[in-house]
Amino acid sequence: GDIDSSGGISVTRSACPAVAVPAYTGDITVFDPAEARDASAIDVVAAITNLRSSCAQQGADIVASASFDVQATRRQGAGARQVDLPYFATVVQGGRVVVSKRLGTIRLTFADGQTRAQTRGTATGIVNRAAATLPPEIEERLTRKRKAGDADAAVDPLANPDVRAAVQKASFELLIGFQLSEAQ
């Protein structure tokens, strides 16, 4: 989003996957008893927060690493207790195709008398660098200097279906969230 010397806007695309929490998977509510659904049966409520990521090239791959916090509250503060919550880390290509999915468990430890707990989790996604790199002809169409008066000067290159499809195919995301059941 920087303004370049010609007065245009310069956008830099990274081969690193975007890292995010998909909608509706960043929070979880656990009930006791499990089949209950009223407020008085809420046992533990947890949320994924403080998502941070880094990216590095390792040979022919791009490795995206993410860390996140899970903050939770429980209804009853009596007694020390550990709660295990399942989470997933999935690599998605083009916003639609699941490339890989890994499941993990995050453990929250509540001290006696405490209703709040926090812990840190990590996740990793690996993407082939060649798959995340735009073909040279597409990159040229996106970065080509346009001058006022050119036939396509005011047309966004992404309006072309071929260019849009190539960018989408080379775009990856590392998505992290709670592994929810159908009822959740």
Rounded to an integer, the average pLDDT of 61-70 is 97
Q: Do the Cβ atoms of 82 and 25 come closer than 8 Å?
A: no
Q: Give the C-alpha separation, 82 to 14, whole Å.
A: 40
Residue-level pLDDT at 112: 96
Q: Give the C-alpha separation, 102 to 93, whole Å.
A: 15
What is the pTM (predicted TM-score) of this model? Answer: 0.85
Residue-level pLDDT at 4: 59
Residue showing tokens 């047309």 = 155
Confidence of residue 9 (pLDDT cuts 50, 70, 90): low
Is a pLDDT exceeding 60 seen at residue 92?
yes
Q: Give the C-alpha separation, 172 to 179, whole Å.
A: 20
Least confident window among 124-128, 158-162, 169-173: 158-162
Helix (H) or strand (E) holding 136: helix 136-143
Is a pLDDT exceeding 90 seen at residue 59?
yes
> Which amino acid is present at 111?
A
Residue-level pLDDT at 158: 79
Q: Which of 98-102, 136-140, 143-147 has the highest mean pLDDT?
A: 98-102
Rounded to an integer, the average pLDDT of 154-174 is 86
Residue-level pLDDT at 40: 92
Residue-level pLDDT at 146: 75
Share of the chain above pLDDT 90, in %: 67
What ranges make up the beta strands (E) of 4-160? 9-10, 18-20, 27-31, 42-58, 61-74, 81-93, 97-110, 116-128
Task: Give the residue with greater pLDDT, 3 vs 128.
Answer: 128
Q: Give the C-alpha separation, 77 to 145, whole Å.
A: 63
Q: Give the C-alpha separation, 33 to 176, whole Å.
A: 27
Confidence of residue 149 (pLDDT cuts 50, 70, 90): confident
